[in-house]
Amino acid sequence: MLLLGIDVGGTKVACALGDASGQVLDSRRRPTEASGDPVRDLERMAADVRSLVEESGHRLEDVAAVGVSVPGPLDTERGLVLNPPNLPGWDRAPVRDVLQAALGRPVTIENDANAAALAEWQFGAGQGTDSLVYLTMSTGIGGGLVLGGRVHAGRASAAGEVGHLPIVWEGEPCACGLAGCVEAYIGGAAWTRRLAAVTPADSRVAALAAGEPRPEHVVAAAKEGDAFALAEFERFNDYLARLLVILTFTLAPDVFVLGTIARAAGETLCLGPVRERVRAHVWDFLGQDLAIVPAALEDRLADLAGISVALEATR
């Protein structure tokens, strides 16, 4: 069974042709370059997909489903992208209908974090589990839920938007307009702003950063044992653990799959301490078998996110 995936990111659009086992037969990427006219943007994507399929020696008629991973919020029922900050002009963009008309194949859209959660569940770190929570922590913090083997998307596809869960009630202002969001404490952008203010000039972080300290410099410096960087990770792990404890009591998942910063930081610096802190703050029977693991796909995610959505649509 052939499946097509389209991953619409803030900077790149990836198109991939694959199968139900997660094998990617062929793929290509191009800059997103939103023209302001979503229909035009979508028709170009459809043209890319057509040539991808043809050049790889397959026929569009043999594609069972097309899955699109796209920034939310969405109206999945109508197949609309509502107004993602990274896609100017995409206000109520009729993604599903335009692609369906252009390709003649059934199209399903899903928000990017949900699609990533699904990909990790089908092909990555969450294979074989019943319930998975996926968190991606780069500039912002996104999340996706696969519960009982299905994506729980919720209203406007906004379930799993745990980056904006108030981890401190009426706390730090967040770029989203609210306050106290997890993202305002440990999202990459907020952390970068914090680092500009608190990084000691004589720390390893400052030396690595050459004036613009970012989370990746903290990761590198902490791995070298820099005290400031280690203290920053204490703080990061603390907020991350608080979030996972909240989600454990809400969802009782089998596994948390953590991408980007947590994954880059790794076992000793982040995953181990977070696991320990979570277990100390949940009931024994909830903590003992709870898996907290790094994301497995990352580089393959752009290709597999859309394919996962397509596969899910055929089930």
Residues that bind a copy of itself (CB under 8 A): 73, 82, 131, 145, 147-148, 150, 152-162, 164-166, 169, 176-178, 242, 245-247, 249-254, 281-283, 285-286, 289-290
| DSSP string computed for 110-160 | EEHHHHHHHHHHHHSTTTT-S-EEEEEESSSEEEEEEETTEE---GGG-TT
Neighbours of 146 (CB within 10 A): 29
Measured from the CB of residue 106, what is the shortest distance to a copy of itself in angstroms?
20
Residue 12 or 92 having the CB closest to a copy of itself? 92
Query: Residue 209 and residue 226: Cα distance in Å, rounded?
Result: 13
Read off the amino acid at residue 194.
R
| DSSP string computed for 2-35 | EEEEEEE-SSEEEEEEEETTS-EEEEEEEE----
Measured from the CB of residue 253, what is the shortest distance to a copy of itself in angstroms?
7
Q: What are phi and psi of 144, to 5 degrees?
A: -145, 150
The answer to whether 303 and 16 have CB atoms below 8 angstroms apart is yes
Residue 57 or 177 having the CB closest to a copy of itself? 177
Residue 101 or 249 having the CB closest to a copy of itself? 249
Measured from the CB of residue 182, what is the shortest distance to a copy of itself in angstroms?
9
Residue 73 or 89 having the CB closest to a copy of itself? 73
Of 159, 156, 149, 157, the residue nearest 312 (C-alpha): 149
Measured from the CB of residue 73, what is the shortest distance to a copy of itself in angstroms?
6
Residue 59 or 315 having the CB closest to a copy of itself? 315
Measured from the CB of residue 154, what is the shortest distance to a copy of itself in angstroms?
3
Give every strand in the sheet of 132-137, ordered side by side: 150-151, 141-147, 132-137, 255-258, 291-294
Query: Residue 112 and residue 143: Cα distance in Å, rounded?
Result: 9
Residue 250 or 268 having the CB closest to a copy of itself? 250
Measured from the CB of residue 163, what is the shortest distance to a copy of itself in angstroms?
8
Using CA atoms of 117, 160, 251, 181 in order, give the dihedral in degrees to the nearest 10: 130
Helix-strand-coil percent breakdown of the chain, rounded to 5?
45, 20, 30
Measured from the CB of residue 175, what is the shortest distance to a copy of itself in angstroms?
12
Residue 194 or 242 having the CB closest to a copy of itself? 242
